[in-house]
Structure 1
Amino acid sequence: MKSMNNLKKVTLGALSLLMVGVSCSDEFLDVAPTGSLSEAQVGTKNGIEGLLIGTYAALNGVFGNRFEGPNHWATGSIMGGDANKGTDSGDYATLNPIQRYETDPTSDDLRQLWRGRYEGVSRANKVLAAVANSTELTAADAARIAGEARLLRGHFYFDLKKHFNSIPVFDETVLAADIPSIPNTPDVWGFIEADFQFAFDNLPAENGPGRVNKWAAGAYMGKAKLFQQKFGEAITWFDDVIENGVTSNGLKYALLDDYAQIYNAENDNHAEAVMDVESANETGNVQNANAFDDLNYPYNTGPDGPGNCCGFFQPSMALANSFRTGADGLPLLDGSYNDPANEVDNIYRHVFTNGNDESTFVEDPNPLDPRIDHSIGRKGIPYLDWIEHPGSAWIRSFAYAGPYSPKKYIYYRSQENSFTDGSSWTRGYATMNYTIIRFADVLLMAAEAEVEAGSLDKALDYVNRVRARAANSEHWVKEYDSGENAANYVISEYTSFPNQDFARRAVRFERKLELSGEGHRFFDLVRWGVAAEELNAYLDYESQYLVTKFGGARFTPNKNEYYPIPQSQIDIQGSDVLTQNNGYN
């Protein structure tokens, strides 16, 4: 989405004035208006485009809280068992109860997530109101701008729905003074679908890099249907997107040959990006860099590694074990990879035979899915173009967070100070688009719908398309000196899905492998109805090694599937208007 940069620069000064008239003064959005522009000024095409760019900016967060980021590294990945909080117990301590499923309604991180998403809703509504009142827009411009605003609003509401379940919804016709009296409800899918349908009907296929298009709306509609278990309707939408969809810059949707290029800033706006979030900066200005990810680099790397701070978001041991394959190149769907007594399949116990003692380390010689080393920083394996991961030298607390480092959406040594801003308190302000929906995600969502509809052969084809890309040995991680494979990578396609249960397990596991660390896992487990089973097994496994972090932690069914409504919001609107989610009263 880099082509939006110039437009952002042009409108930045205007937006600082425009947006002060957008929001309510209630905690609901928590932005006190200090001035406003006249309706005539925001009714021009340039004024409305400025408001729209402000709405796009809300995708990356508004108030500077890391929970606002679009990648949901905490609420989606850490809470889904993909990763541990990382670092040590005293660092960002407010995240400790959240990762133990012990959060409460006073969590400021969740309050900021709530207000950031509603700020996005408010900005979208301001655009739509301006479009409705403008006499200067052509019919085509009005339809396009409204379509973009409604897709963005649908995204913000979808995000709120999957986090909080029961939420207030309102459109651009509701007066600001009336918003605090709107109750929350779980019955919001119709509103969200209406936004996606309008966007699909009114947006062009090619809308220019940096903007959403009709196919992003189609993919999001399919996802909304899937979350509601409307599998037949989801298939219809996914079929259309897979067959006909193109990116906003006109590329036919396709899987990239090289899995690593999904996460490379120099390859943004690629054919796999269905809907992504713009990120850009200039040295000395982190305004549009990935501030939500600035903690999520290996710890204490010095000049030989990226970021130099802060050791958060360490991939879990259970996730690393999941990449074990059998001699046939297929994943171990029986869960044996997490058997503590199995030193072959259990990577952590195999390579550290004496607890956390690095002197006992040996590189794992057994079969692995090659995506492990594009997804997880492991000792002895080349870390992008930096150095081989040195192990504990890049880990703040082995005993607290485990042996691994994040590796997706990390910048390269060759990109320092060109695709990063190294002038701030951390070198970890990088610029790369985060992909909210990518084509592999669409294929696997489609495969899931096909399994539930009984079309196992079609599901098999979609899963194998994803696995075939991962099996491209040209793009496996290689040793720096010899150019040989960095580990014993063994991966193959499935020959068949013999029954629906097997197919279901295969598709769900493929999502875990393909999309690890991208913020999907927790929400997948919840919608599949297996969160308690999967996450308590994860806690049982991880707590054997990280007892000070996870000892006694449990996921509570019929409570932890959703996050609590922020208490501060209930205090403002009243408990007669907002109802707290189950288990948090």
Structure 2
Amino acid sequence: MKPINKKLRLLLIAPTVLILTYACSDSFLDQPALGALSEDVVANEVGIENLLIGAYAALDGQQDANNALGGGGPWEAAPENWVYGSVAGGVASKGSFGGDQPAIDQIVKFISNPSNGYYNTKWKAVYEGVARCNNTLKQLASDETISDAERKNIAGQARFLRGHYYFELKKMWNMVPWIDENTEDPKQPNTEDIWPNIEEDFKYAYENLPDTQTEFGRANKWAAGAYLGKTYLYQHKYTEAKEIFTTVINSGVNSAGTKYDLVPLFKDNFDAATENNAETVFDIQMVANDGTGTIANSSQGGKLNFPYNSPFRCCGFFQPTQDLVNSYKTDEATGLPDLDDYNTDPVKSDMGLNSTDPFTPYTGSLDPRLDWTVGRRGIPYHDWGYHPGKDWIREQSYGGPYAPKKNIYYQATADQYSDQSSWAPGTAINVHIIRFADVLLMAAEAEAQTGGLDQAMEYVNRVRNRAANPNGFLKDYIDSSNPLAGFDESTDAANYNIAPYTSTQFSTKDNALKAIYFERKLELAMEGHRFFDLVRWGIAEETLNAYFDYQGNITTDVRGGRFISGIHEYYPIPQAQIDLSVDESGLPTLKQNPGY
């Protein structure tokens, strides 16, 4: 049975005392919410375990969306960061039309201000997770009955989760206040770099968590090791990152004890029936039809992101960009991407055409991952039939002709893995925080930065070779176990062609890094990483402004966008939080980021 992330609500203002939690269960991820417990009830091992469950429950970012802490749609704090990481990173358009969720347009074009409500919703949702971790640790410290092994396990999980929440805050806003279980005054300034604190949380988790856990959804030692490596990488501590990634790659196992590896088929990472596999380092667990009558546990943050006027009903957001689609072109002879001029001779689309107008899909050489990432006209949309083009697009001139695909459940298993309890669907497809392909590519980056070009190429090619598995090509999936009425391979299948890199492309550090950066774009597209990658590589300004210039000639949504170095690497601190931070002197303790 697939484990699920239970919904647990804690009413907390910073790390204080009023706690709402779940009843205990042998399987901590399988039970519905039962109500509120007072502090004396949680002052034991059972209660502390339930506090830990609450810290996990906040991972989906939805605790704040519709409760007493105040408003905001669930998509504003979506844990997959589809707005802040993918749309702002140029791999996806906001989608829908200009008048729908216009606050996203401001974020994407880097013209937003601190009063944009999206930032406040995200800030509160992530600090809610921090508060739950702190409550768990504070209560754990006061209990003398728990065994040393269990104490380390609980503390390790809580500190792993706190490290995750603070990593989210750090990459979004850079300078944020550190509040832990020993902080008495929540109105802390944001004047200290919190990277050392995040490192310490992941180090503790790595050193104290067991290799395996009793439930798959819990963090283990190796997930902590991978996240510690990611923390080093973001700080450009490449030697430290290389060392921990090497250990994780060679020795790491998932929480069920399966050695980390790439699953044979790329698509199996985006199907609820085949996830929680050897590639899973840490996922936010999602479930459909949990008996609550809501989609709260069904990836609610992505409920807008389905083709419009389609079997999914709503809402036409999160459309892949032409820039992304062009990135999947490969050379007919070498099977390699064009790292420099991929937007020259773009992949043919049905832009400007009605669904009744004749259209023949692009016949050039393509990376097969394109059609598991992007829905495009004339190509099967999983097992839902052929993507019809404009009929499934809300406003083609605004967001373009494409639809997302990694978040789309399959028709054959929709009864089990979709949830229709709301005006837009939910899905049981997990949110990937770190998967093994991500680890390999981060490790390749650390290797290239420290002179290990051959090892870097080996890691990248491991990812590309999996993509080259013909059993994972869309046409073979359609031909074999999932026949599609009317499918004709000679006319309906793309020309897939992908090959590994050679030492020619990895002959220098700069060339190797260029290939690694591009491979992350291809492999992890639409998974919330792109903007944060561009920022940490120091190439956000040149990349995003080139994107605005190119994409703005195709769609109207990004026209007027401009990224300015020294300002837009981080989002503005929410004005509402600055106002709330006023101390006894009458001055705010939070300082705004430069340029806002």
Contact 1:377 1:389 survives alignment (8 Å): yes
Contact 2:3 2:285 survives alignment (8 Å): no
1:202 to 208, 211, 226: 208
Change in 2 beyond 3 A, CA 1:186/1:536: farther
Distance 1:430 1:4 in 2: 12
Match status 1:252 vs 2:242 = no
Change in 2 beyond 3 A, CA 1:205/1:107: same
1:129 to 138, 163, 168: 138
Distance 1:490 1:391 in 2: 24
TM-score normalised by L of structure 1: 0.91
The one-letter amino acid of 1:580's match is Q
1:325 to 320, 324, 330: 330
Cross-structure match for 1:504:
513
Match status 1:390 vs 2:388 = yes
Match status 1:23 vs 2:23 = no
Distance 2:454 2:422 in 1: 52
The one-letter amino acid of 2:431's match is Y
Contact 1:314 1:406 survives alignment (8 Å): yes
Match status 1:514 vs 2:523 = yes
Distance 1:156 1:88 in 2: 32
Cross-structure match for 2:2:
2
| CA-to-aligned-CA distance 1:479-514 (integer Å, 9 cap, x gap) | 533466720001001121122111111000000000
How much has 1:552 moved relative to structure 2?
2.2
2:237 to 230, 234, 246: 230
Cross-structure match for 1:316:
321
| CA-to-aligned-CA distance 1:262-292 (integer Å, 9 cap, x gap) | 0000112111010110112325332311100
Contact 2:82 2:318 survives alignment (8 Å): yes
Contact 1:73 1:519 survives alignment (8 Å): yes
**Residue aligned with 1:149, SS:** helix
Cross-structure match for 1:53:
53
Cross-structure match for 1:157:
166
Match status 1:409 vs 2:407 = yes
Cross-structure match for 1:578:
590
Tell which deviates more after alignment, 503-512 or 40-49.
40-49
| CA-to-aligned-CA distance 1:198-247 (integer Å, 9 cap, x gap) | 10111001013110001000000000000010100000100010000000
| CA-to-aligned-CA distance 1:147-178 (integer Å, 9 cap, x gap) | 00000000000000000001000210112xx1
Match status 1:569 vs 2:577 = yes
The one-letter amino acid of 1:232's match is T
Distance 1:123 1:558 in 2: 33
2:197 to 191, 202, 215: 191
| CA-to-aligned-CA distance 1:433-455 (integer Å, 9 cap, x gap) | 11100000000000001111111
The one-letter amino acid of 2:226's match is A
Cross-structure match for 2:420:
422
How much has 1:337 moved relative to structure 2?
2.1
**Residue aligned with 2:499, SS:** coil
The one-letter amino acid of 2:45's match is K
**Residue aligned with 1:519, SS:** coil
Cross-structure match for 1:242:
249
Match status 1:448 vs 2:445 = yes
Cross-structure match for 1:381:
379
The aligned runs of 1:261-272 (5 Å cut-off) are 261-272=268-279
2:563 to 532, 555, 572: 555
How much has 1:331 moved relative to structure 2?
3.8
How much has 1:30 moved relative to structure 2?
13
| CA-to-aligned-CA distance 1:100-119 (integer Å, 9 cap, x gap) | 11111001111010011100
1:277 to 280, 284, 301: 284
The aligned runs of 1:85-124 (5 Å cut-off) are 85-124=94-133
Cross-structure match for 1:400:
398
Contact 1:255 1:439 survives alignment (8 Å): yes
**Residue aligned with 1:265, SS:** coil
Change in 2 beyond 3 A, CA 1:25/1:211: closer
Distance 2:339 2:144 in 1: 63
Match status 1:543 vs 2:552 = yes
How much has 1:86 moved relative to structure 2?
0.4
Cross-structure match for 1:436:
433
Unmatched segments (≥5 aa) in structure 1: none
Contact 2:366 2:494 survives alignment (8 Å): yes
**Residue aligned with 2:298, SS:** coil
Size of the aligned set, in residue pairs, is 554
Tell which deviates more after alignment, 118-127 or 94-103.
94-103
Distance 2:37 2:364 in 1: 64
How much has 1:355 moved relative to structure 2?
4.8
| CA-to-aligned-CA distance 1:526-547 (integer Å, 9 cap, x gap) | 000000000000000001011x
Tell which deviates more after alignment, 472-481 or 255-264.
472-481
How much has 1:423 moved relative to structure 2?
3.1
| CA-to-aligned-CA distance 1:298-328 (integer Å, 9 cap, x gap) | 11113xxxx2210000001100000001113
| CA-to-aligned-CA distance 1:356-394 (integer Å, 9 cap, x gap) | 566363211100000000000010001111111000011
State the Cα RMSD in Å.
2.2
Q: Which has the higher helix share?
A: 1
TM-score normalised by L of structure 2: 0.89
Distance 2:79 2:450 in 1: 31
Distance 2:560 2:3 in 1: 49
Distance 1:3 1:320 in 2: 34
